[in-house]
Amino acid sequence: MGAVVRYTSEEEKLLARLLRAEAEGEGTLGMLLVGNTGVNRVLSKCLDFKNINTIKRMIYQSPGGFEAVQKSYFYQKARDKDIRIARRALRGERHDPASFSLWYFRPSGRCPARWYGQWNSGRYKSHCFFIPTRSNCPKVY
């Protein structure tokens, strides 16, 4: 299967580092869900992500990017297993509840039904995922 977004080897490693930093404790599936969200941001061309057209821009987007890039553990070398997970997301492997998500966060309690006007699509372990409406972001679907 080919990639659903263009990426360089450097970007594949950046995404691998992001997946590890954001969701290593949630296992392979949790890391894939973070990857789904990131890839969706590049695909979407809508809302906060209109000018996000590369993996690197998506990872370092500010404001609206990922907290992990501000932490030292994000800057560890990408591991082979993390690169394999990133590659799966880049090739379009999607999993619910993040198949169409553009956002996620880790609440202290239950997932809210809506977050900044976006609908909750489900929870995986400690992360809640949120999707745009089809009319706002048709390229995600």
Digitized pLDDT (tens) for each residue of the chain, 141 residues in all: 689 999 999 999 999 999 999 999 999 999 999 999 999 999 999 999 999 999 999 999 988 889 899 999 899 999 999 999 999 999 999 999 999 999 999 999 999 999 988 999 999 999 999 999 999 999 999
User: What sign has the CA pseudo-torsion 129, 133, 136, 137?
Assistant: positive
Domain boundaries, the chain: 9-140
pTM of the predicted structure, to 2 decimals: 0.95
**Lookup: tokens for 135:** 């009319």
Looking at the domain 9-140, which fold is it?
Answer: Arc Repressor Mutant, subunit A (1.10.10)
